[in-house]
Structure formats: structure tokens, C-alpha cells
Structure 1
Amino acid sequence: MAADARLTSATLVAALRRRVTAEGGFATVVVRGDDISGVILVQALERGRFTGLFERVPNLDGNYALMPCGPAPEDGAEALDQYIARRRRSDPDLWIIELDIPNAERFAAETIC
């Protein structure tokens, strides 16, 4: 693979879904974005309780990191819904994937970063 080649967003999301499911968790695509280069947001849940929202972002060394974004879990569902609506208006190519598994952030970071 060429040094500048990278996996598509669709491939990364599919791999994450398979990995979470294989570990006994639940993963679903809430919003399907651009297959090639859509930004990926991960809604982390544990036993149905929202624990955080994370975005896959490029870092300075040319790789990717998973960074917290959006409202804190204690801000409630309405704040999360409003944040996601704003993000979708400004970026229609955005992916949103929901993971319900302990340590969802770790699973996502290990798979898509």
C-alpha cells in the first residue's frame, strides 16, 4: 500500500461494527456519511447509557486520534441531539456510529485510529 493510501470511512466503520459485535457488544450506523472520506463520530454507550461522543481527527504526526466532542453525558439527550443536528447541517458527509459496549472509546480508538 502506498504511503499516502488510507482506508475509507465506510471500511473503518464496517471493521468497527464487526469488532464490537464479535466482542458481544452492539454497533449500529445512526447516520451514513460519505463512503470515502466522511468524518466519523462515535456515540459511546454502556448498557444503554450515553457515556460520550468522540470524533476521529487527524493529528500532527499524520495519523488519527479519537477526541471527545459535543456535550458531556450529564448535559442530557436534548443537548446531544442539538449538537448532532448542528454538525449534520454543517457536514452532510458525517458518519455517526453508536457503540454499546464497555470501553467503547477504546474499541473505537484501536480500530479506526
Structure 2
Amino acid sequence: MEIFIILCWPVLILLIFLILKHFNARKRRNLPPSPPSLPILGHLHLIKAAPHRALQALSKKYGPILYLRFGSLPILLVSSPSAAEDCFSKNDIIFANRPESIANRILGTIAPPLDSLLMETIGGTSGV
């Protein structure tokens, strides 16, 4: 019984530390407004049969720039033309790259890029 208690204390302290670190990190980030989310699903529960209508209603309620999470994927919803222009002209370097997903990594391993194969088929280069 004493061994169990001795082993549980470090795990409990680590768990408390991770929870506090998570909540402090969320407060420090300067994120746009966001509706309440579920722990694993994120904001997927808010998207019903017509996703474009649900996203439009969310943008009317929370403003033209909105932070959402679909599962673990962070989404920045920009619904006004002026905000979109700011994103793609002033902050274009930040939005230039897409996050790498597990699906891209797996499919990239199974099916490599077809650039050279397409060029050979078209007749642009010879097979080397």
C-alpha cells in the first residue's frame, strides 16, 4: 500500500503541473474570440447539416475573425473582406505554410509526388 502511495504522488504532481501549464498557456495567447468547445471534438459539435450556415451564424455572433478547433486542428475563420485582405497582404508569411497532417505524411510515403512522372507522360523530360 505504501508503494502505491509513493508512486501516485509524483503522477499526481505531474498531472497538476500539466493542467496548470495548459491553462496558463491558453491565457497568454492572443487568440480571436471563440465559442465554448468540447475537450476532444473542439467546435465540431457546432457544425450541423449546413456547415456554411453554421459558420455564418458563428461569425455574426463572435465577429469577423473567429478561432475554432475541429478536433485538434486549429482553424482561423475570416468572414469579412477587409480582414481577409489584412491576412493575405500584411501577414502573408504567417499564412504561407500549412500544418503537416498525419494523412499527408502517410500518403506522401505511399504515393510519392508525381511531378516527374507527369512530365515524362507529357513529354517534357526523358526518364532518368
- Structure 1 and Structure 2 fold alike (TM over 0.5): no
Q: Which has the higher strand share?
A: 1
Q: TM-score, normalised by structure 2?
A: 0.24
Tell me which structure has the larger Cα radius of gyration.
2
Q: Which has the higher helix share?
A: 2
Q: TM-score, normalised by structure 1?
A: 0.27
- Structure of greater relative contact order (alpha carbons < 8 Å, 6+ residues apart): 1
